[in-house]
Amino acid sequence: MGSERLRNIRYYLLRHGRYLEVARWNFLFEEGSEVEVLKALKAYQNRDGGFGRSLLPDYRNPESSVIETWFAGLILREIGFPDMSGGMIRQMLAFFDERIDFSNVVSSERVAEAYMPWWYRSEDKNEAAYDTLSLAGFVLRHDNPESSLYARAQSYVKKVLSGENKPLKAHEISQLLLFCEDMKIARRDDLISEAFKEYVRQQVQKHIEQDPLKYRLGDVVVSPDRFIMSRKSPFYSQNQRICDFYARYIEDTVLPDGYWPLKIEWEANRECEHVLRDWRGILTVHNMLYLQGMKTDDD
């Protein structure tokens, strides 16, 4: 990426991004400290240990929610779950213990339709809720194995993974990849069969749109960054062509002011510029992480 374009992106984020995204940028790209990220993230945590206060910009609710607490976990994952985040994680686990029903995560919570509508669970309690497994994975990675929450998470995982493999949607695959990562680190690979791991790998390949023209035409497609953020990914080699194309596509589509247009069909908050502005900041960090992950030694 040219220096002028990169400078515009950086300046846009510094001028318009939330303190949280600026702290993430500084940590990820400018040798900043994870302390600043934790300070910024802490501002969204409530006394009950959960996160709210529009951590997800279009969730206009100050109260804690499972989905925003899950999103906070993604940010902690991004900075490597530093030791100093232990207190925050314990508070999150306490919140999950009080609020989470793995089979019906947010049935009682009002989630903006503009983002993650799949977190509304089906009335069919027997449905394999693959998209909820990342929450269970977070618990099994960080909680005490003797806790009741750990036991509930483990029981839920066994129930879901014991059923027949069902066709996966892109968001479910994303959550399963997080779950598999957590199980490896938690040394709980015993919960995932090799056959299921292979099934997930096949689903990744199946869902990524391989035709560059469809991206250029603005079609709604599943792009590789849903599953692959680095050349080190086990899925990169078989998707190298489209991953490398998508990196060029990201560079080509940044606007002159230094941000990317959002591809969200807003059902709510359409008129709220601050919601769009905050999501642009999140997208900026995401896209720059992808470009960083796709760099070669020659770049």
Is the pLDDT at 8 greater than 50, yes or no? yes
Number of other residues whose CB lies within 10 A of the CB of residue 90: 14
Is the pLDDT at 254 greater than 70, yes or no? yes
The two tokens of residue 265 are 């069909």
The C-alpha atoms of residue 229 and residue 269 are separated, in whole angstroms, by 29
109-136 pLDDT per residue, tens? 554 443 444 334 444 444 446 768 999 9
18-67 pLDDT per residue, tens? 999 999 999 999 999 999 999 999 999 999 999 999 999 877 778 898 88
Query: How does DSSP assign 81-135, residue by residue?
Result: --GGGHHHHHHHHHHHHHH--TTSTTTTS---TTS-GGGSPPS-TTS--GGGHHH
Q: What is the pLDDT of residue 14?
A: 97
Is the pLDDT at 92 greater than 80, yes or no? yes
DSSP 181: H
Contacts 24+ apart (CB under 8 A), 68-72: 68/44, 69/95, 69/96, 70/134, 70/135, 70/138, 72/41, 72/44, 72/45
- Determine the Cα angle at 14 with ends 112 and 77, to 5°: 55
Helix (DSSP H) and strand (DSSP E) numbers for the chain: 12, 0
pTM of the model: 0.91
Q: How far lies 23's CA from each of 31, 151, 232, 246, in Å? A: 10, 35, 25, 26
The C-alpha atoms of residue 125 and residue 127 are separated, in whole angstroms, by 5
* Domain spans in the chain, listed from the N-terminal domain onward: 3-208, 209-299
Q: What is the pLDDT of residue 167?
A: 82
CA nearest 20: which of 251, 284, 273?
A: 284
147-173 pLDDT per residue, tens? 999 999 999 999 989 888 888 889 889
Amino acid code (one letter) for 34: E
The two tokens of residue 244 are 């490398």
List, in sequence order, the alpha helices (H) in 186-271.
194-207, 212-216, 240-253
Given a contact cutoff of 8 angstroms between Cβ atoms, the answer to whether 51 and 64 are in contact is yes
CA nearest 175: which of 216, 223, 220, 227?
A: 227
Q: What is the pLDDT of residue 198?
A: 92
